[in-house]
Structure 1
């Protein structure tokens, strides 16, 4: 190699190490920047081809300036993150339901000093039947007060159940709002990714470097993965294509928009659709999927006397809907059963018995959202039916109503006959088990996502110690190349002095 060739080699060493120092400086500047990826300079031999066809190494050159990212870890993280946020929502809602039911529980102390917790729903059911028991065994002189107590206990029962149902309805309404907000966020994130695609392609078209733009895009993609099940693929020009269940959400600098339709009701299901085509988007995980499921009211339906005993099952998509239907079946079955008894008897004045429970809106069927104690009984307790005759000692209707508490043919759960208390207990036990399972699954999934994030950060996170070590290495290499150049300068100066 000639003297001037050596000069060129030394210069290439200085240039390459200067570029490496610049990358190190960028890394150190972004050491506390959330989501910033480590930038690395990759060098390669620089060679020239001689006239005889042979190749000669003539120094070093900057082959590429790239971010330290593992696209496979990023992809896995986003897939598992979608599952984690899905489970987080499901677990959170089940935990809320459990808390909601617990708020109505009562805590007492038994004769041995032990703390006893009684379900609030079970308590009001027991109080209702206790009022009927008292009425069925009372003396006629005290009958008026006990009739009033029966009406009061019935109103308390309805108030307690409808209060829970209203809160559950609010949870479902909040789930619908969460889907709408989630889709709005997803559309906004998709638009930002499309814009970054455009900027990245422009920045890198002439050989430029756009690591900071790519970091911003990756942060957006991570956020999108918490909402829905996305798949990301990078194109040769540096842009990414984002798909959702086979549909294209982002391609190049274009983003497709999603929209929300429906309320979640059985006759108006909640759907996320592609705005352009109207086709339903295939959302299987992420928080939006979880909220869509919890907002689904499929499984909630009214029942009438011909449906009794109503065979209840726990197959509803939404645990919230399942509990709402539990309460609906519980009170509607009880109301229809009591009505069939009271309308077959006579009141205290010998008049034909009235239905104990009636609808609030006569145009709609009896249900937990449309039930009340017959207003005529509230205004005149003598109309409460206790017997089949005018005989003062006849409390056959009241006794038959008392027997409903232990009647195991009144309710069915997946084919099993249950009493009213056991029916409610079976469903709440199922909910408790489902909540524990969801909580455990979420904890496991969250730990997996955290582990994956640690692995990702091990690849791209910026370490001060590592960068300081690299800086010393590049400074030393730069100084060595500069010294070579100085030496060559001296040699050339000596040669010129000879001539």
Structure 2
């Protein structure tokens, strides 16, 4: 005969399993609005001791249900996909934000920009061409040229401010935040391990860790693995490992409790990855791979920030590289330099050797004219000399009213000019653009518009994919009130059924003890 108390144990285990189910369901419902919370479920198995005697004639019936633990409902494949897509979202978002800031500076539609200043200079030159002897009209040309240079100065300073802000955000916000995330994950790993050794699943701590890992994935493409580690003969736990998936190398960021730190040396936008001793990380062969890891980044907001700061498009060796802020700064410098050299050459036509009547110079005393330092040359500004109106080919004094040089200046604004990036040697010179000054500015704005549109489209696509993956994750891992309501009914009924089984067994036991053997008495 089956053990009476074994049957009671079956009922008691059923009650306990149902109670666990109700407790877990209540925990899920309570945390429906908790960020990062993962739905929990009861893990249970059928208990069958399988210890019947060799010649037992009774069927080998189990002894009920055994709760083995509480686990989370997650899909590791969706986690990987989501984190990869979040890295792409982070990269595209940073680039788009930076390009929109540049647009606010170079916007030729919303403000009276470079095009307007060039048109005004052209108008003043035409007025001077009609009355070349008028000092008033020459002063108007000088004033217009000064306005143009100051506008270029302003644009250059605003672009420099954007660069400075981006560098500050990268060095003072993003890099410290990444280091803080790695530190917090390491501390959580220790707490999770201690809890699991002591018999608790530490699921809430695992949720906190997963939120941090998802945040880290926005900065760079990472690979997360769980390494089974044997603690004792009866206990094995998973230790966490996080690697940066680089273009050429895989760089370990965290190995359970040990983690690296990111660093950017002062005055640079170079990103280094340092080990616990503060040295650049090396690979298994001993080669340093933790210095200037920009080339290793494949996606993420870190890559977006560094690419925005360091990539210069056509001015780089790889002409197809991303057009970051450096490209637009160099294009503005190229325009300022070409404008100054073109007009200086015209105004110096026919002057004795060694005599220069430059229209444009530099405000900082340097020999290279840029958008930041271009200004009206001091000699012209102080009226030490004026515009060279005309020059006779034989060197004689031109007739009164001659204005060939002024007409050349007007024509220079309307004619195509080669905008050349100077190399170390003349053979290294590269023509970036050929066209008028107006078309140069139009092309610059068109290029910026195309970059913004492509970045926006890319961002929208990545966000759409990330949202789809997130929805799929939520369908599996998040709490559903409908589902939890069904679980409440299920566990309530199973609890009532187990209690009924307990009552039934009690009645059977009552019959055996008090009623058996009383027939005929």
**Which of 95, 119, 130 is the matching residue for 1:126?**
119
Q: Is the 8 A contact 2:89 2:300 kept in 1?
A: yes
Q: Is the 8 A contact 2:91 2:303 kept in 1?
A: yes
Moved more, 367-376 or 330-339: 367-376
Question: Equivalents in 1 of 2:238, 2:346: separation in Å?
Answer: 76
Q: Is the 8 A contact 1:21 1:475 kept in 2?
A: yes
Moved more, 409-418 or 481-490: 409-418
Matched length: 469
Deviations 1:129-169 (A, max 9, x none): 222222122152xx100111111111111111121111111
Moved more, 238-247 or 450-459: 238-247
Moved more, 273-282 or 164-173: 273-282
Q: Is the 8 A contact 1:147 1:382 kept in 2?
A: no
- What does residue 480 of structure 1 align with? 497
Question: Equivalents in 2 of 1:488, 1:443: separation in Å?
Answer: 64
TM-score by length of 2: 0.84
- What does residue 401 of structure 2 align with? 393
Deviation at 1:445, TM superposition (A): 0.8
Q: Give the secondary-structure state (helix, strand or coil) at the position aligned to 2:460.
A: helix
Question: Equivalents in 2 of 1:68, 1:47: separation in Å?
Answer: 26
Q: Is the 8 A contact 1:8 1:59 kept in 2?
A: yes
- What does residue 136 of structure 1 align with? 129
**Which of 300, 314, 323 is the matching residue for 2:328?**
323
Question: Equivalents in 2 of 1:371, 1:411: separation in Å?
Answer: 17
Question: Equivalents in 2 of 1:186, 1:269: separation in Å?
Answer: 16
**Which of 202, 216, 230 is the matching residue for 2:208?**
216
Moved more, 160-169 or 238-247: 238-247
Instruction: Verify: 1:404 aligned to 2:407, yes or no.
Output: no
- What does residue 111 of structure 1 align with? none
Q: Give the secondary-structure state (helix, strand or coil) at the position aligned to 2:48.
A: strand
Deviation at 1:56, TM superposition (A): 4.2
- What does residue 222 of structure 2 align with? 230
Q: Is the 8 A contact 2:188 2:205 kept in 1?
A: yes
Question: Equivalents in 2 of 1:495, 1:487: separation in Å?
Answer: 12
Question: Equivalents in 2 of 1:361, 1:163: separation in Å?
Answer: 15
Instruction: Verify: 1:90 aligned to 2:92, yes or no.
Output: no
Question: Equivalents in 2 of 1:480, 1:189: separation in Å?
Answer: 48
Deviations 1:202-254 (A, max 9, x none): 11124322111111111111111112222211232233211113112121122
Deviation at 1:468, TM superposition (A): 2.0
Q: Is the 8 A contact 1:39 1:68 kept in 2?
A: yes
Instruction: Verify: 1:285 aligned to 2:313, yes or no.
Output: no
Deviation at 1:3, TM superposition (A): 2.4
Deviations 1:90-115 (A, max 9, x none): 12222232233227745xxxxxxxxx
Q: Is the 8 A contact 1:82 1:225 kept in 2?
A: yes
- What does residue 307 of structure 1 align with? none
- What does residue 306 of structure 1 align with? none
Question: Equivalents in 2 of 1:136, 1:69: separation in Å?
Answer: 78
Question: Equivalents in 2 of 1:121, 1:313: separation in Å?
Answer: 29
Gaps of 5+ in 2: 229-236, 281-289, 421-429
Moved more, 128-137 or 442-451: 128-137
Q: Give the secondary-structure state (helix, strand or coil) at the position aligned to 1:44.
A: strand
Q: Is the 8 A contact 1:77 1:452 kept in 2?
A: yes
Moved more, 351-360 or 22-31: 351-360
Residues 78, 312 of structure 1: alpha-carbon distance in 2 compared, 3 angstrom cutoff:
closer
Deviation at 1:360, TM superposition (A): 2.0
- What does residue 380 of structure 1 align with? 383
Deviations 1:52-111 (A, max 9, x none): 4696421111133111111111111011001011101112222232233227745xxxxx
Q: Is the 8 A contact 1:144 1:381 kept in 2?
A: no
Q: Is the 8 A contact 1:258 1:274 kept in 2?
A: yes
Question: Equivalents in 2 of 1:102, 1:298: separation in Å?
Answer: 20
Deviation at 1:364, TM superposition (A): 4.7
Instruction: Verify: 1:357 aligned to 2:357, yes or no.
Output: no
Instruction: Verify: 1:71 aligned to 2:76, yes or no.
Output: yes
Question: Equivalents in 1 of 2:482, 2:415: separation in Å?
Answer: 74
Question: Equivalents in 2 of 1:45, 1:138: separation in Å?
Answer: 105
Q: Give the secondary-structure state (helix, strand or coil) at the position aligned to 1:366.
A: coil
Deviation at 1:382, TM superposition (A): 5.0
Q: Give the secondary-structure state (helix, strand or coil) at the position aligned to 1:239.
A: strand
- What does residue 471 of structure 1 align with? 488
Deviation at 1:185, TM superposition (A): 0.2
Residues 346, 394 of structure 1: alpha-carbon distance in 2 compared, 3 angstrom cutoff:
farther
Residues 244, 463 of structure 1: alpha-carbon distance in 2 compared, 3 angstrom cutoff:
same
What are the residue-to-residue correspondences of 1:298-447 with 2, within 5 Å?
298=312, 315=320, 317-345=322-350, 353-380=356-383, 383-388=386-391, 390-391=397-398, 392-411=400-419, 417-447=434-464
Deviation at 1:447, TM superposition (A): 0.8
